[in-house]
A and B are shown apart, each in its own frame.
Chain A
């Protein structure tokens, strides 16, 4: 069965960076793009961008172009998202989600990021 297992909660200082992971299992990792979605506390959903794990091609929402960096490790079937120059606006839950024919059919459980001094 398809599973996306995300890394644990992060507490970071303003200005720091965090790198979170999304380990895929139950399917061929390189056959599907991986998307990332942000959800601020009590707020709606915002699409960050996606990576093609096979080619490494990335595409970002312009709102995240200087904030997020997406990478993937084919050997471990793991996708990563790094967030840099953190501010309180980056405090949120971040989800990875696989895209097949169905846009974002399977989702990870989310990684909570809290930015606080």
Chain B
């Protein structure tokens, strides 16, 4: 199985700050990488797919980058509504595997 190592596992950031979360795959996943946001007691919401494509309705302050084994999600200017846990998912090879999650809180 492909292991997705996500970092950091938790973080605090200030409003307006630029935030970056990373995921490293145990092998090349050829941009088959998505990012999800999950708020407490809610279902995950798709933010980014195929590493860089913004899902419908997602604010442009979210962006994704990466290739090969290394991927990142960036929030260009943190807003209070961004408090959530973020997960990466590789869907290039079965079984699909998620990163361990990053809990993002406002400082």
Contact = CB atoms under 8 A, between A and B. Distances in A.
Contacts of A110: 43
A29 to B, nearest CB: 19
A103 B47 CA distance: 11
B100 interface: yes
Contacts of A47: 89, 95-98
A19 B4 CA distance: 30
A45 B87 contact: yes
Contact of A95 (B43, B53, B96): B43
The residue in A37, A45, A104, A108 that gathers the most chain B C-beta atoms within 10 A of its C-beta is A45
Given A103-B34, A104-B89, A44 B98 contact: yes
A103 B44 contact: no
B95 A104 contact: no
A109 B43 contact: yes
The residue in A61, A103, A107 that gathers the most chain B C-beta atoms within 10 A of its C-beta is A103
Contacts of B99: 44
A59 B94 contact: yes
A28 interface: no
B98 A61 contact: no
Interface residues of A, number: 21
Interface of A: 35, 37, 44-47, 59, 61-63, 95, 97, 101-105, 107-110
Interface string B19-34: 0000000000000101
Contact of B44 (A46, A95, A101): A95
A108 B43 CA distance: 7
A63 B97 CA distance: 12
Given A97-B44, A102-B46, A102-B55, 15 more contacts: A44-B101, A45-B89, A45-B98, A46-B98, A47-B89, A47-B97, A61-B94, A61-B95, A63-B95, A95-B43, A101-B49, A102-B34, A104-B36, A104-B46, A109-B43
